[in-house]
């Protein structure tokens, strides 16, 4: 099993875990939600531990145990006071190798996940992303919601989850990671004692690349909502594409975290039309998605949408990016990466993910060189791919007759 070691001498805390190359994209047509259901239930009992023992194992020393599922990855990890790596490694290895999915705990957690599904339906600002993916990747494993539906999870049994773990949670399909003061040799030995070698032929790399969807524009009505929640986006190249850094820089220029982003200036600072507007990218192994989200008064939706498209078009035709603005944007983006690298948890997870999919993480110098090499022509070409972006709006119903089941 591959391992990431980030040495932080003198650190009072450590972070350790594993990431597996399996997510909702691997669910299969008859088991939507199983990757996420497995992640929830691995804390519910192993061959020698009860759920109570599991949740107290790291908390007893002041640590915490976490997990999450994406479309192509599942992560289980712990953050804890330095000196407890043996405890963390032994527990995590037990969870990903020996989980039993006891029936009584499984049924309780099925209800918890059903409540989680409902919580997303109560949050259109989150749900609009899932609905947009359903349309952008229609009919493909990338499209469906990571959580699945209530009907989906009702069909999943403990035996399905045990088989899922045997198939996907194998040493060649996982990466272990550690960030803390202990040496690489010591941590490697600790993890090596706990993880038995195992192999599989079934990995996320076998997935077929989704065909591009035709551009779309849709509005869906939901009751009890005051704002329109809008997504404008398009499919872009994936994590291995040479254009990746161009799209990353373009996304930051258009709607990154800085208040000086083109979209924040156009929609909020100059016109006061939105509280928040942001651009983001999702990188998958064979394709990706670029999205712009904004929430606004329904009367302002059309105007905001025009402004978003004008900002994108301004980059595409070269009017929005001067040579000076490009150099400032590069300096800002690289500075943000430096600031982000100080978050040890985020960095450990990021480097582990890069190792899982790309075999190694790029160094800071490599990333800097790739960003510095992006030209204005590169940005114009990338923005041109977004000019015909699709859109989805979730908003309040105009009349009572518009009320219909949503999602």
In a domain, 210, yes or no: no
Q: In the predicted model, is pLDDT for residue 203 greater than 90?
A: no
pLDDT digits 0-9 by tens, 378-389: 999 999 999 999
- Residue 327: predicted pLDDT: 97
Residues 194 and 242 in one domain: no
Residues 224 and 189 in one domain: no
In a domain, 151, yes or no: yes
Residue where one domain finishes, among candidates 199, 230, 246: 199
Residues 185 and 242 in one domain: no
Tokens of 402: 């518009």
Integer Cα distance of 279 and 19 in angstroms:
26
pLDDT digits 0-9 by tens, 84-98: 999 999 999 999 999
Residues 120 and 264 in one domain: no
- Residue 405: predicted pLDDT: 46
Residues 21 and 103 in one domain: yes
Integer Cα distance of 180 and 13 in angstroms:
6
Residue where one domain finishes, among candidates 165, 199, 233: 199
Integer Cα distance of 384 and 388 in angstroms:
8
Instruction: Report the first-to-last Cα separation within the chain, whole angstroms.
Output: 40
Point out the least confidently predicted range of 220-224, 273-277, 290-294, 341-345.
Answer: 220-224
Residues 116 and 168 in one domain: yes
Contact 352, 4 (CB under 8 A): yes
Among the listed residues 7, 259, 23, the one whose alpha carbon sits nearest the alpha carbon of residue 133: 23
Residue where one domain finishes, among candidates 151, 171, 199: 199
pLDDT band at 206 (very low <50, low <70, confident <90, very high): low
List all residues 6 or more positions away from 149 whose beta carbon is below 8 Å from its beta carbon: 32, 33, 117
Strands of the 228-236 sheet, one edge to the other? 217-222, 390-396, 228-236, 288-296, 274-283
- Residue 121: predicted pLDDT: 80
Q: In the predicted model, is pLDDT for residue 43 greater than 70?
A: yes
Contact 20, 68 (CB under 8 A): no
List all residues 6 or more positions away from 235 whose beta carbon is below 8 Å from its beta carbon: 136, 137, 212, 213, 287, 288, 289, 290
Residues 271 and 152 in one domain: no
The alpha helices in 169-258, defined as continuous H runs, are 184-194, 244-255
Q: How many domains does the chain have?
A: 2
In a domain, 205, yes or no: no
Contact 378, 214 (CB under 8 A): no
pLDDT band at 407 (very low <50, low <70, confident <90, very high): very low
For the beta carbon of residue 226, count every other beta carbon within 10 angstroms.
9
User: Range of 32's domain?
Assistant: 2-199
Distances (CA, A) of 301 to 229, 306, 310: 9, 9, 14
In a domain, 48, yes or no: yes
Residues 195 and 225 in one domain: no
pLDDT band at 286 (very low <50, low <70, confident <90, very high): very high
List all residues 6 or more positions away from 289 whose beta carbon is below 8 Å from its beta carbon: 133, 136, 137, 233, 234, 235, 236, 281, 282
- Residue 402: predicted pLDDT: 46
Q: Which neighbouring-strand residues pair with 14?
A: 80
pLDDT digits 0-9 by tens, 216-254: 999 999 888 899 999 999 999 999 999 999 999 999 999
In a domain, 361, yes or no: yes
In a domain, 371, yes or no: yes
In a domain, 204, yes or no: no
Q: In the predicted model, is pLDDT for residue 189 greater than 90?
A: yes
Domain CATH code at residue 152:
3.30.830.10
Residues 314 and 370 in one domain: yes
Contact 199, 166 (CB under 8 A): no
Residues 233 and 269 in one domain: yes
- Residue 202: predicted pLDDT: 52
Rg (CA), the chain: 22
Residues 174 and 247 in one domain: no
Residues 130 and 101 in one domain: yes
pLDDT digits 0-9 by tens, 98-150: 999 999 999 999 999 999 999 988 899 999 999 999 999 998 999 989 999 99
Integer Cα distance of 402 and 220 in angstroms:
9
In a domain, 336, yes or no: yes
pLDDT band at 404 (very low <50, low <70, confident <90, very high): very low
Among the listed residues 177, 168, 96, the one whose alpha carbon sits nearest the alpha carbon of residue 350: 177
pLDDT digits 0-9 by tens, 95-109: 999 999 999 999 999
- Residue 204: predicted pLDDT: 45
pLDDT band at 311 (very low <50, low <70, confident <90, very high): very high
pLDDT band at 212 (very low <50, low <70, confident <90, very high): confident
% of the chain surpassing 90 pLDDT: 89
Tokens of 260: 């000086």
pLDDT band at 353 (very low <50, low <70, confident <90, very high): very high
| Chain-centre distance for alpha carbon 231 | 17
């Amino acid at each position: 099993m591959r391992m990431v070691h980030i040495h932080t001498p003198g650190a009072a805390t450590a972070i350790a875990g594993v990431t597996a190359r399996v997510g909702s994209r691997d669910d299969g047509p008859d088991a939507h939600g199983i990757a996420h259901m497995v992640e929830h239930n691995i804390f519910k009992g192993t061959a020698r531990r009860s759920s109570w023992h599991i949740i107290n194992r790291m908390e007893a020393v002041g640590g915490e145990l976490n997990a999450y599922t994406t479309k192509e990855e599942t992560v289980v990890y712990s953050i804890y006071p330095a000196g407890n790596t043996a405890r963390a490694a032994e527990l995590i290895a037990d969870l990903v190798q020996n989980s039993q999915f006891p029936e009584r705990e499984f049924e309780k957690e099925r209800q918890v996940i059903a409540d989680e599904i409902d919580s997303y339906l109560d949050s259109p600002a989150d749900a609009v992303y899932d609905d947009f993916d359903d349309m952008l990747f229609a009919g493909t494993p990338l499209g469906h919601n990571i959580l699945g539906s209530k009907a989906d999870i009702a069909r999943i049994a403990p035996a399905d989850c045990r088989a899922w773990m045997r198939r996907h949670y194998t040493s060649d399909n996982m990466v272990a990671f550690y960030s803390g003061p202990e040496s690489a040799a010591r941590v490697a030995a600790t993890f090596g004692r706990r993880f038995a070698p195992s192999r599989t032929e079934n990995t996320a790399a076998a997935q077929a690349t989704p065909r591009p969807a035709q551009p779309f524009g849709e509005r869906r009505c939901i009751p009890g909502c005051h704002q329109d929640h809008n997504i404008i986006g398009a499919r872009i190249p994936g994590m291995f594409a040479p254009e990746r850094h161009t799209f990353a820089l373009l996304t930051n220029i258009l709607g990154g975290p800085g208040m000086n982003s083109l979209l924040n200036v156009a929609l909020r600072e100059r016109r006061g039309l939105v509280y928040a507007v942001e651009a983001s990218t999702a990188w998958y192994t064979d394709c990706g998605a670029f999205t712009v989200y904004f929430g606004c008064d329904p009367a302002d939706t059309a105007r905001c949408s025009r402004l978003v498209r004008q900002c994108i078009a301004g980059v595409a035709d070269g009017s929005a990016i001067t040579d000076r603005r490009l150099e400032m944007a590069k300096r800002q983006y690289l500075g943000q990466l430096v600031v982000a690298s100080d978050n040890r948890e985020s960095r450990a997870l990021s480097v582990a993910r890069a190792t899982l999919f790309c075999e190694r993480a790029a160094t800071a110098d490599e990333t800097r060189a790739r960003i510095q090499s992006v030209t204005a022509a590169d940005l114009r070409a990338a923005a041109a791919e977004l000019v015909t972006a699709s859109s989805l709006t979730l908003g309040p119903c105009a009349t009572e007759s518009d009320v219909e089941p949503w999602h």
